[in-house]
Chains A and B, each alone.
Chain A
């Protein structure tokens, strides 16, 4: 049996590419070596850290993934994402004119383009006093660090309020994920509010580590705000990070509901269509529990990620190849040049990746496509240092959008 599209990878780029291809009427299958790493992420959409993309897109190198999308393409991709995530029951707030400024768990300020409402509520551009909740049961979040960090960055009026958890919410192991699941239950929320209400006199806006519900976060947030009579916002924590986990679960649920098959677990190797004189890819061979199994498709999208996600492999010989088709990446043969010793300096390997044409198809150094029906999206693309640029999710969404359009033709 054969699908119209196989997407390799289940991170933000893969899930989005699959959903956008599906919404264009195509039969889609996702194959992923393990789960994507969205649960390690803050759950926001960073498009361009330093301001609106419209100001920067023109200055980017011609091979930068966002240059290809342009600010109009980026906006269209973001709009489609917002529609999807709204349909999945996890509405996001987008601020395209000037970035949202949100507090982080270390007290720094995270500039981003779109965020779930529970995070966007923490916008530092809103005036008025803020309190950060100190929950002693939680090991990996320091309210004092957040408050002092924000103050040192010029945010006035930040205070800390002690908020121990009632036993019903804390349980035996107070990890944010476990607390979030407990808060999905109204009885636990009631117990929490009973304990917290007297401690919150005079508090108008309260920031908490992200733990306000897992299955129904929008309902949990609204319910707690109504019961406590204050405005609440969340700050992402160490993994598992609830905002990232919610985004992952929402997109996966939407995939399943829309008839996208997800094959989770096997690593894959690309296969060339023997009847096409090497011009087309026929699909992938997956290392399933029993043995190699073939999955065929008309089009294949590589959404395998970058250096940290398994999208490419670097060899002692100095060769760097994508991990599915073994396509050579644009990288210096001298391995000494891959990294800089100072970890805070720009790293050459961050820009390794596949160059693509206007339809997101990987191309060789002379600009010819490797395969007519092979597409790429997300971290596997060359030419961007996504961490330094603050462009990670912007590239994921824009390239997923261009790939889905490229496939649909």
Chain B
């Protein structure tokens, strides 16, 4: 289903990852030791074996693929831990895009890699979709016919997208240079916050506004990461091209582009350039001006001791998603969480929750994805957490499904402590203690 007409300018081979990069690898196995998928299943030979090692045998017209590479979830841990800066995950994602899949899997992947389109078409049919997603029988049918794991969580389309709820902030042009740009922040909501969790975007915007910042919503669409993960690089490049064409105009004014979805902001910072090969001044300007929300708060917000944070007597487990750690900025949310009085914070000891975007939705990967997350689920239960906090939406849906513990974005709890209004207050059960 990834058929692209020949001559499509976006359908270029990924030549920017040279074979020589595999020669940086000294085979120390640090990536294999850290890989959460290799720890969960013997079916995956590990990032070193399918990446720098196998890359030596790959030629442009002879991908020479070990089917084991299909087990790579793309979590990116291998690249982050590599002491020699070998782009292991990037190599594997590019190589994986050459794998052949069955027509059934191709159809499924076509659907799950288009969350924006699913929301657009599905919004008028919301009640029907909800019923479909919740019907055990239909989920069984979807698993049998489409290979969509029946126990994997699927999000619900919101009645109105964020861009409709905050139409007052939608802009087609960036503000003028100089004082107009000062104190301005461009919010990259991504399709997930826009269409599925607009309350996260609303509360993030209110919090930024409460700090005296002016938030704008530039033209934007899905970052394209789900397409990239499902082998459709051409489709991903088209979305990336649209986003770069819009966002670079804000970036060039020095206006920070801030996001709450860590995988989408990672796409802007890294995947467009390193995996999709979209290099150039626009891509660089966008990448360098894109910030995770908490990363931006560390830069623009007043020192924490000036914040008026009210106590939240809750026990939370904070799980930094693999996609946030791939930003290579650490865990900026933690400092804010530690500053909230009476909040008991345990930090996740797991590299990845397992779902890795769309990986856990696939029936052939579901069990392994779940196994990857087991340690995290056990830690959350053992900590008797009232809430799991994690920055990526797919992680929230996945962890909530497997632990039964409500999962929220860390900005929601910071907002609650600051007294910033939210459409979706913290769960009542969690407030009892």
Contact = CB atoms under 8 A, between A and B. Distances in A.
B375 to A, nearest CB: 8
Contact of B266 (A29, A261, A289): A289
A153 to B, nearest CB: 29
Contacts of B39: 177-178, 181
Contact of A289 (B32, B38, B326): B326
Nearest to B270: A289
Contacts of A262: 330-331
Given A35-B30, A263-B330, A173 B81 contact: no
A291 B326 contact: no
B287 A290 contact: yes
A89 B433 CA distance: 30
B378 to A, nearest CB: 10
Contact of B335 (A40, A181, A261): A261
Given A34-B83, A289-B269, A290-B290, A245 B33 contact: yes
Contacts of B338: 259
Contacts of A31: 330
A173 B33 contact: no
B211 to A, nearest CB: 15
Interface residues of A, number: 40
Q: How large is the interface on B (under 10, 10 to 19, 20 to 34, 35 or more residues)?
A: 35 or more
A87 to B, nearest CB: 15
A341 interface: no
B347 A257 contact: yes
Q: Give the one of B81, B330, B338 with max A CB within 10 A.
A: B330
A259 B347 CA distance: 9
B430 interface: no
Interface in A173-213: 173, 177-178, 181
B89 to A, nearest CB: 11
Nearest to B290: A290
Q: Give the one of B266, B289, B328, B338 with max A CB within 10 A.
A: B328
A40 B28 contact: yes
Contacts of B335: 1, 261
Interface in B36-55: 38-39, 42-43, 45
A239 B33 contact: yes
Contacts of A29: 330
A129 interface: no
Nearest to A1: B298
Contacts of A286: 328-329
A35 B328 contact: no
A288 B298 CA distance: 15
Interface string A240-260: 100001000000010011010
A267 interface: yes
A181 B33 CA distance: 11
B56 interface: no
Contacts of A256: 347, 349
A178 B42 CA distance: 8
A263 B334 contact: no
B328 A265 contact: yes
B331 A39 contact: no
A33 interface: yes
B287 A34 contact: no
Contacts of B85: 33-34, 267
A31 B88 CA distance: 20
Nearest to A34: B83
Interface string A15-55: 00000000000000101011111011000000000000000
Contact of A293 (B38, B82, B329, B331): B329
17 contacts: A1-B335, A34-B82, A34-B83, A39-B29, A172-B42, A172-B43, A173-B45, A177-B32, A178-B39, A240-B32, A261-B335, A263-B330, A265-B81, A265-B325, A265-B328, A289-B266, A309-B83
